[in-house]
Each structure stands twice: as structure tokens, then as C-alpha cells.
A = this chain, B = another copy of it.
Amino acid sequence: MATFGDIGLAAGVNILTALIFLIAFAILRLQPFNDRVYFPKWYLKGLRSSPTHSGAFVSKFVNLDWRAYIRFLNWVPDALKMPESELIDHAGLDSAVYLRIYLLGLKIFVPVALLAWAILVPVNWTNNTLAISQATDKLEYSDIDKLSISNIPHGSKRFWTHIVMAYAFTFWTCYTLRKEYEAVAAMRLHFLASERRRPDQFTNEGCRVIILNQLLTCKELSDVQVKIVPASVLVKNVPPDHDESVTESVEHFFLVNHPDHYLTHQVVINANKLAKLVKEKKSKENWLDYYQLKYSRNQSQRPMTKTGFLGLCGDKVDAIDYQTAEIERLSKEIAEERERVKTDPKCIMPAAFVSFKTRWGAAVCAQTQQSRNPTLWLTEWASEPRDVYWDNLAIPYVSLTIRRLIVSVAFFFLTFFFMIPITAVQSLANIEGIEKRAPFLRPITEAPFIKSFIQGVLPGIALKIFLIVLPTILMMMSKVEGFLAISTLERRSAMRYYTFNFVNVFLVSVIAGTAFEQLNTFIHQSPSDIPITIGVAIPMKATFFITYVMVDGWAGVAGEILRLKPLIFFHLKNFFLVKTEKDREAAMDPGSIGFNTGEPQIQLYFLLGLVYAVVTPVFLPFILVFFGLAYVVFRHQIINVYNQEYESAAAFWPDVHGRIIYALIFSQLVLMGLMSTKGAVQAPPLLIALMVLTFFFHRFCKGRYEPAFVKYPLQEAMMKDTLERAREPNLNLKGYLQYAYVHPVFKDDEDDEDEDFNGKSDDSVIVPTKRQSRRNTPAPSKMSGASSPSLPDVVLENSSSLK
């Protein structure tokens, strides 16, 4: 049992760690050679270029200005200074609303913490139940417990305070949630309303050329696209027709059924081979750049290369000539392939992006059923081009149901039985196992250091690897399930990751034993006993979770800002791989928010905060520090580091709201279980009533605010259409919309094929259906990808060793 001293010590260590990280960050970020690590966002936006153009050679790499070091904490006010509206322009609405989750944590828990410390702590403290039971039963207790509900005597009238507080906390949380939902919904609608159908530079004359130029200057590509949200609808499951091609079929269908609104469409083409060729050509071009640079520096000697594998074997030829020839060959092949995919009906997928003359028409088409068979001609509002997940555009309806079944079953087994293969691997990877299989290794494995290393680290490695790849596994599951937008994939993965964390981090920590053992217990336990089992264990685990918050929350968040992994990787790449400026850009690893791992982690804190608010109010300040610190850190990261992968206009908020409600109801359930064992007979009915009220609050919010996230009001669409017509009566949309839905990799390729691109005006556009690794595709952020499972694996190792 931890005393205040223990907690203080742990806090000290973690605060120290966090401080070291922050100071290291403050110093490292000022060094010019780290500029691309700590400010990649600005590079991606083209608003910053390498600071290596002037001054002494040393100052290219090291900042020698001592004044900069004095203001080393300046990044905090800098991060907070940018107003929200500017932040939305800079990093998108998703990022801005993501930050509001942390703010929401502060909004909920600051008043809750104040109230709890003002009322609950004195009520708990002024008892001596624990002291008595220590005297009589020799029960140990900690100082923390003295401040918790455990210190109230059995059947005391003081439990009324806790019930009233549970009501107060619930009402406050619901009030805040409602306010926030309202605000986010308004932000989303405002954001969607202020979107333009075209970039700013768009004029009536020659619009297409400008647009194409826009699309072709890669630097600003992502930025421009944020503003281009055409009134487009994705239509899937176009039924096959013997007489007509897909594109004719689509055109006829929409000309008949939306005659006043249909404008144009783009059929989706499966162009995996083409994309591969394009990628190959790009690599060759990069090499050509490199050799030309090399030649321009040292004109005495033409660079040479070998034609074989990785340039290591084969004939030695002139590098520049060779690469030029290769590029020419590839260009020809690409042109051929391009023709082929256009004419080959096998490459045409039964899906299309249909554009409408008016937003009204698009809103109508996206929200209505088209055909009498509800599995054909499925329409949905097209996500913005960056957000489309091309692989899943052609899944037939029946297959979707089966995929969903398979993934559900797989996820169930993953959650409850993942320990089985890991335990199996662990049992193979112990000293005896290795010695048995490879006796010749015995002299090595018997060395004390190696032996202890194997025994201490190896068993954990299987689990650690699993936890690191878990988000990827979950993401793959979502992909198999057949969602069409990257944002949806991430939302789904987040839901699964939260469930996994809830079962395997929260429940496993609270009640010893693996998830599977618990499942078994819960099945054989009566429903009324489950809240009791969890409720009774909750106060005892308070110190454990306080430590968890400090390690994972405080030090972890501080570690996130240091970006140690991208820092090291950037410098390694810079040293070994970077040949050209393009490569240097590619070596930047800005990362992204990583909603699929980040949000479930925040939700775990909401859960802990709500569960402990009434039970152990001492817990709350630790949560508050986390929310405060994380808010500042992530605001800084979003402004300076993360690349925006897509813009879903905060479509994730209903999930965030729903999970907090879930945590709230769970906390009430647990409190009921706990209090019913402590003789508070009035608690169960009152808390059940509270749960019902909370649930109906959720129902209300769902009806009142969720439509803003899934539907498209016609009134708004009509307003925007009218405005647009009044401003630009002759807007030529068709020309522009023609090329709205082109895969980014494909667009990059258009650099040197403008004439080809401009020359074509049929309504099909070639896109690869296998997603390519893009330059700007961010890896999951360090915070969410690596540091978040840091505690789970401790927990799981413990639980697996218990088996």
C-alpha cells in the first residue's frame, strides 16, 4: 500500500523525467539542423525553407545565439497563442477539434476536482474506519485510502454525500458534453459552409489550366485540396450491364434520375500496374537528379553506374544516359498502360464519383436511396480526395456482411485470447527451450549477463511486438471490413483499440487474471455481482493508476514533444540516404495525430477520472496535470509538426461523446457495486435511476446533434448554391471537377505529362486501387504508437506470469 511519500517519490521521478524531456526539446529545437524534425509542418506548407542559406558554417547546424536559450520555454505561449480560427486554417478542423478533447477533459475535471476536494475529501477524511480495522483486523491501509470512500463506515449516512456528488458530477459532465457537442456541431457546419468549391486563385477564364497547375505544384497540393470539396457523391455497386459500359451506365442512370442536377462523373479505374510503373519512373528520375547534381559539381568525370541489382553488379554504363533511357522507356510503358486500363473493361471498377451542378443536388443524391434494390447504386457523400481509401471501392454488398462477421469474430478472439499465442511463444523462448533446440549455443547462453538478458527480456518481447503492431492489426481489420474513407477506418480502429484497452488494460489491472479468465468469470457470475467485483477492487487500485497516469500521461506526453525516434531517424537518413532535396523532404517524418491510437488513450483517462471522481478524489489532480500538459504539447505539435492526412471535418466527435457517456455509465455502475457492499442501501436504486437518465441524455444528444455529422441539410446547401450563383454566375465547374478525384501519386506523375492530361476530356480518370506509400503518409505519432502500450505490457506481463 502506497503512502503519500511513495506517491510523492514516483511523482518526483516522473516530473523529473518530463522536465528532462522538455528541456532537451527546448534546446534541440533551437538547433538549425533539427529544424526539419521540429517544424516539418511549415516545410510541408512551403512556408519555411532550410535555414542553411547564410551565416557561418557552424551556425548552419548549431544555434550560437545565447538569447534564444533564455527564452527556451517560449514554445508554450507560442503554442497557446494561435487563435482557434487560425488553427483551423493552418491544420484543419480535425486537429482543432482533437485538441478540444483535452480541453473538454479540463472543463469536466477542474470543477469536479474542486468540488470533490471541497466536499468529498473532508467527508472521507473525518472517519476512522480504516484506523479501527487496522487496530482490530491488522488490515494495512495507505494515506490515499484514508481520503477515499473506503474510510466511510459500513452503512453510514455519509454515503448520501457520495450519491449527491455522483449526481452532481454526472450533471456537470452531461452539461459540458452537451455544450461541447453543440459547439463542435456548429464548428463543423460553419467549416463545411465556408468551404470553397475551388481554390482562391481560380478565375473564370482558363480555370482549368490554373487548376491543373495548382494540382501539379506538389508543395501546395494538400493545402489547396482542403478547400476543394466538390459537390460530389460516391456511387458504389453499379450493376453490371451487358449493353453498356460502367461509365455509360452511370451517365444514363443519373441523367434519368437526377436530370436537373447531374453534371459529370469519374469512373474509378483499377490501375495498380500503372501506379507501380509511375513509382519506378519517379525513382529513376530521382537518381537522374542525383547524378546530374554530382556531374555539375565535378564536371571532370561522368558518373557511372552498373545496370544490375541495386547498381552493384552488371555492366558499367554512363549513369546519366542510362537513367535518361530508362525514364524514356518507362514513359512509353506508362502511356501504353494508361491506354490499356482505359480500354480494358476488366480494369474499370463498378464505382464512380458523380459531381452535381449544385450542392443541393449532391446533398439530395447522397441522402436518398436510388434504386429499388438497396444494395445497388449505393450513394454516399464523397470524402475529400485525400481521404478516399481506394481499395474498398468495389466490394459487393453480400461480401460486406460476411467481412463484417469475420472481423467481429476475429476481434472478439483477438481481445480475449491474444495471450494464448504469446504465452506459447514465451514458453518456447526461454533458456531451456533454446538450449534444448540449439545445444551448441549453450556456452553463450550460460554466460550470466546473456542469461539474465534472455530471461528478463525475451519473454516480454513477443508481447511488446504484439502491442506495437496492434494498431496496425486493428487498422487492417477495419480495411478488411470495407470502409471507404481513411477517416472512417481510423474511427473504427479507435473504437476497437478502446475496447481492447478497456478489457486488457483497465479490467485486467483492476481484477487480476487475463481477459480470458475474466470473461470466463463474468459468464459464470451473476450480473449483479459483476459491478460488485469491479467496484470493490477499484479503490485498491487507485495508487496503481496514479502511477500509470504519471508514467504514461506525464512522462509519455513530454516524450512525445521530444520526438526522439523521428529525430534519430531523420539524422540517420540525412547522413546515409539523402541524395537530393526531394529525398530530404522525404526523410522528414512529420507523423500525424494518429486518431486511431491517440483518442482511445485519452478516453482511458476520461474513464479513470470518472470512475475515481467519487471513489478516490485524490486521483483527480493527476488527471488534470495530464490534460493540461497534453493540451499544450499537442497544440504545439499540431501547429509545428504533424502533417494533416485528411480532413473529415470533426466527423469523429459522436464517437468521442459516446465513449465519454459510456465511461460515465460504467463509473455509475461500479460505484453502485461498491456502495452496495458498504451497506448503502439507498445507493442502488438512485444510481440505477441516474444511469437511465444518463442513457436518455445520450439518446437526446444523438438525436439533436449527431445529424450534423452524418447528414447534409438542404437549407444550407441551397444557401451556398444561391450565394455562389450570385457571385459567379458563369462558373465553369465541369472543367474543374473533371480532375478532382485523382490519386495523389498519380497527380505527382503529371508533372511531365501536362499535355496528356489536358488533352483528355473523357470522364474517366485513372487511379491505382492499391494505395501507395505516399511521401506525406505519416507514421503514427510516437506518443500513440509506442508509448501508449508502455504500461499495458507491464500489466500484461504481470497477468501472464500469474497464469
Contacts and interface: CB of A to CB of B under 8 A. Distances in A.
A714 B402 CA distance: 28
Contacts of A370: 713-715
A524 B524 contact: no
Contact of A523 (B405, B528, B692): B528
Interface in A255-275: 256-258, 260
A371 interface: yes
A712 interface: yes
A525 interface: yes
Interface stretch (A57-65, A194-202, A425-433, A700-708): A700-708
Contacts of A711: 368-369, 374
Nearest to A405: B696
Contacts of A256: 715, 718
A670 interface: no
A569 to B, nearest CB: 44
B528 A526 contact: no
B714 A401 contact: no
Contacts of A337: none
A646 B172 CA distance: 47
A767 to B, nearest CB: 27
Give the number of times this chain occurs in the complex, counting copies. Answer: 2
A318 to B, nearest CB: 62
A189 interface: yes
Contacts of A706: 374
Contacts of A189: 372
A404 to B, nearest CB: 7
Nearest to A374: B707
A51 B715 CA distance: 60
A256 B401 CA distance: 41
Contacts of A375: 703-704
A716 interface: yes
Contacts of A716: 372
Contacts of A207: none
A397 interface: yes
Contacts of A397: 703-704
A576 to B, nearest CB: 51
A363 interface: yes
A409 interface: yes
A707 B715 CA distance: 25
A369 B714 contact: yes
A374 B706 CA distance: 9
A754 to B, nearest CB: 39
Interface size class of A (residues with CB under 8 A): 35 or more
Given A409-B692, A526-B525, A527-B523, A713 B401 contact: no
Contacts of A377: 715
A398 interface: yes
A332 interface: no
A497 to B, nearest CB: 23
Nearest to A371: B715
A704 B398 CA distance: 9
Nearest to A364: B364
Interface in A375-401: 375, 377, 397-398, 401
Nearest to A715: B371
A331 interface: no
A340 interface: no
Given A368-B368, A374-B711, A696 B404 contact: yes
Contacts of A708: 372, 374
Nearest to A258: B714
Contact of A703 (B372, B401, B696, B718): B401
Contacts of A369: 367, 707, 711-714
A478 to B, nearest CB: 17
Nearest to A706: B374
A699 interface: yes
A402 to B, nearest CB: 8
A257 B361 CA distance: 11
Contacts of A368: 363-364, 367-368, 711-714
Contacts of A527: 522-524, 526-527
Interface in A97-126: none
Contacts of A402: 696
Contacts of A404: 696, 699
A524 B523 contact: no
Most B C-beta atoms less than 10 A away, residue of A402, A404, A713: A713
A704 B372 contact: no
A612 to B, nearest CB: 26
Contact of A704 (B253, B374, B525, B700): B374
A389 to B, nearest CB: 20
Contact of A260 (B260, B405, B525): B260
A174 B788 CA distance: 45
A374 to B, nearest CB: 4
A236 to B, nearest CB: 13
Interface in A665-711: 692-693, 696, 699-700, 703-708, 711
A523 B688 CA distance: 14
A377 B369 CA distance: 21
Nearest to A521: B526
A698 B740 CA distance: 39
A256 B716 CA distance: 11
A401 B367 contact: no
Interface string A522-548: 111111110000000000000000000
A186 to B, nearest CB: 9
Most B C-beta atoms less than 10 A away, residue of A369, A372, A716: A372
Contacts of A693: 405
Contacts of A703: 374-375, 397, 401
Most B C-beta atoms less than 10 A away, residue of A409, A705, A711: A711
A257 B699 CA distance: 29
Interface in A575-631: none
A257 to B, nearest CB: 5
Contacts of A714: 257-258, 368-370
Contact of A401 (B253, B699, B705, B712): B699
A700 B525 CA distance: 33
**The 3 A-B residue pairs with the shortest CB-CB distance in the complex, in nearest-first order:** A374-B707, A369-B711, A405-B696
5 contacts: A368-B714, A377-B715, A401-B699, A401-B703, A523-B527
Interface of A: 189, 253, 256-258, 260, 360, 363-364, 367-372, 374-375, 377, 397-398, 401-402, 404-405, 409, 522-529, 692-693, 696, 699-700, 703-708, 711-716, 718
Given A257-B718, A367-B367, 16 more contacts: A253-B715, A256-B715, A364-B364, A368-B711, A369-B714, A370-B713, A371-B713, A372-B708, A374-B705, A375-B704, A398-B700, A405-B692, A524-B526, A525-B526, A526-B526, A527-B527
